[in-house]
Amino acid sequence: MPTPTEHGRPDPETTTLAHSRDGRPVSDRGDTVCVIGAGASGLTAVKNLAEHGFGVDCYERETGIGGAWNWRHDRSPVYASTYLISSRPFTQFPDFPMPDDWPDYPHHSQLLSYFERYADHFDLRRHIWFGTEVVRVEPVADDRWDVTTRSTGGYGPERTSRYAAVVIANGHNWSPKLPRYEGLEQFRGEVMHASSYKDPAQLRGKRVLVVGAGNTGCDIAVEAAQQASRCWHSTRRGYWYAPKYVFGRPADQVNDTLLALRVPLRVRQWLYHRTLRLTVGDLTRFGLPKPDHRVYETHPIANSQLVYHVGHGAITPVPDIGRFHSHSVELADGRQIDPELVVFATGYLPRFEFLDAKILGDDEGAGRPRLWLNAFVPDHPTLAVAGLVQPDSGVFTLSHWQAVLFARLLRLRATRPDRAAAFAKRVRAGAGQRYSGQVKDSTRHWFEVGHADYLRALERALRNLEGK
């Protein structure tokens, strides 16, 4: 059974009953908005919708809040040593700062406690149904939505409720993306995706191959350098390994100083390259491949330790994997290595199984929605996705403003339909727009946005909507 929190929502039986297309009873939730997921993005959606006067029902399949940052959750991608990569000012919600005596880059356990405090401070839990999974979301007449839930794990009956609007905040960093390789089935060693990596003890004393140099791959390679008996790090291209501090300050704060001065991207890239060259130097001397792109054209890596351990010889950089054999791995350059454990830190893919892919404009079913501002859905004015962004900063500021914009849009639908209609037009025209400079073609960049470009676009949308 679902576990309602103290207050819970009113008993659906007391509301008018409608029926779904296939005749199942539907409890009508009136003007209430449904939020899917109580991670950071879902929480800020609940808070901002409630603040704008909406009733909110939030469904969360886990038993607690925090999503990815609740590392006890089975699907949490966070491991024991995860620290933020975006410094505090870029990571906190804009209207609920983290304590200023916290470190520049807090630990994941601090982040969870921050979200817990946010939920308590704004009394959000009374809106949340824990242990309840959304299994279907279907559009019905008048831009309303039928949302079907059941208790996580599939026990108990399904229930369907009708909502005025839906915010999808289900996260996009929990469903592993696993590459295929010839011979992988015969490989006798242990293979895992980074999503099941939790603790350095899993590496201790082993010969480990880490694949991928996103922030996850780099963190795991650094831990393997200290715990494993051997560490190879395989990447299919060269990257810019940026330190967390430059010029005595968190690197993102230095970057935003330049953004505030409106220094153009090309100049910022040049300055960045120059700074790296003067500090860490040319990485090809360690056998790392030369980057095939400029900085900011792949998702930024913030890791001061990777290069350090490469310099110690504790990490051996190797190229892409060619194929697997039963006891060895053949690299693209023909070399053979013999890891006991292979960790695929190859990233994640979004999943929206509860929704017809076409609704999000993903007509080919490739898994990539086509939205405006990564959030608004053409021809579905009462549906929004929150948190489907991968910024060069923290996600939460962006989710917050997405929620504010959606809440104001919903309010204006009643009071100023002309403005809402103009907004819908912009959504249709702008679907698929990007908010970053050029990026390398990879699924990992589907949702890449430059935080400044993105927030400026969102600010414009907000002002246009309100006619200011």
Partner 1 sequence: MSVQTGERVRVMRSWEWARPVRPVRREVLSALPELEEGQPPLLFVPGFGHGAWAYAEHWLGHAAARGFPAYAVSLRGHGGSDPAPEANLRAYAHDVVQVAAGLPRQAVLVGHGAGALVVAHALARYPARAAVLVAPVLGGWATFGAALRRNPFGTVPAVFGGRLRLSRRQLFSRGLPDADARRYAARLGRAARRAQWQLLTGADPEPAVGRPSVLVLGSPDDRVVPSSALTRAARRYGSAPLLFPGMGHDLMLDARWQEPIDAILDWLVKNPTRDDRA
Ligand X SMILES: Cc1cc2nc3c(=O)[nH]c(=O)nc-3n(C[C@H](O)[C@H](O)[C@H](O)COP(=O)(O)OP(=O)(O)OC[C@H]3O[C@@H](n4cnc5c(N)ncnc54)[C@H](O)[C@@H]3O)c2cc1C
- Binding residues for ligand NAP (CB under 6 A): 82-85, 173, 179, 194, 211-217, 219, 235-237, 298-299, 320, 345-348, 390, 442, 444
Name the binder of 456 from partner 1, ligand NAP, ligand X, none, CB < 5-8 A by kind. Answer: partner 1
Between CA 218 and CA 228 the distance in angstroms is 14
Least Å from the CB of residue 410 to ligand NAP: 29
Q: For residue 79, what are its two tokens?
A: 């491991």
Nearer to partner 1 by Cβ, of 194 and 242: the residue is: 242
Out of ligand X, ligand NAP, partner 1, none, what residue 171 binds, judged by CB under 5 to 8 A for its kind, is ligand X
Q: Which of 18, 38, 284, 315 is nearest to 140 (CA)?
A: 18
Q: How far is the CB of 414 from ligand NAP (least distance, A)?
A: 37
Nearest to 354 by CA among 166, 126, 125, 79: 166
User: Which residues does residue 134 pair with via DSSP β-bridges, in sequence order?
Assistant: 149
CB of 291 to ligand NAP, least distance (A): 10
Q: Which does 253 bind (CB under 5 to 8 A by kind): ligand NAP, ligand X, partner 1, none?
A: partner 1
Q: Report d(CA 258, CA 265) in Å as an integer.
A: 9
User: What residue ranges bind ligand X (CB under 6 A)?
Assistant: 36-42, 59-62, 67-69, 77-78, 82, 84-86, 91, 133-134, 169-171, 173-174, 216, 354, 387, 394-396
Among candidates 283, 285, 298, 302, which has minimal Cα distance to 91? Answer: 302
Closest residue by Cα to residue 234 from 204, 209, 207: 209
120 binds, among ligand X, partner 1, ligand NAP, none (CB under 5 to 8 A by kind): partner 1
Q: Are 176 and 195 in contact (CB under 8 A)?
A: yes
Q: How far is the CB of 445 from ligand NAP (least distance, A)?
A: 8
For ligand NAP, which is the closer residue by CB, 37 or 347? 347
Nearest residue to ligand NAP on Cβ basis: 214
Given ligand NAP, ligand X, partner 1, none, residue 121, with its beta carbon under 5 to 8 Å by kind, binds: partner 1
CB of 155 to ligand NAP, least distance (A): 32
* Cα–Cα nearest to 46, from 57, 31, 60, 62: 57
Q: Which residues bind partner 1 (CB under 8 A)?
A: 50-51, 53-55, 88-90, 94-97, 99-101, 117, 120-123, 252-254, 256-257, 259-260, 401, 404, 452, 455-456, 458-459, 462-463, 468
- Distance (Å, whole) CA 179 – CA 214: 15
Which of 51/158 has CB closer to partner 1?
Answer: 51
Whichever of 46 and 388 has its CB closer to ligand NAP, that residue is 388
Binding partner at 320 among ligand X, partner 1, ligand NAP, none, C-beta below 5 to 8 Å by kind: ligand NAP
Distance from CA of residue 295 to its chain's centroid? 21
Beta-carbon count within 10 A of 19 CB: 10
CB of 381 to partner 1, least distance (A): 21
* Beta-ladder partners of 137: 147
Nearest to 386 by CA among 47, 142, 62, 112: 47
CA-based diameter of the chain, in Å?
71
Q: For the purposes of burial, counting CB atoms within 10 Å of the CB of 123, is it exposed (0-12), middle (13-18) or buried (19 or more)?
A: exposed
Give the SS3 label for residue 13: helix
Minimum CB–partner distance for residue 96 and partner 1 (Å)? 5
Counting Cβ atoms within 10 Å, is residue 28 exposed (0-12), middle (13-18) or buried (19+)?
A: middle
The CB-of-24 to partner 1 minimum distance in angstroms stands at: 30
CB of 47 to ligand X, least distance (A): 12
Residue among 8 and 183 whose Cβ is closer to ligand NAP: 183
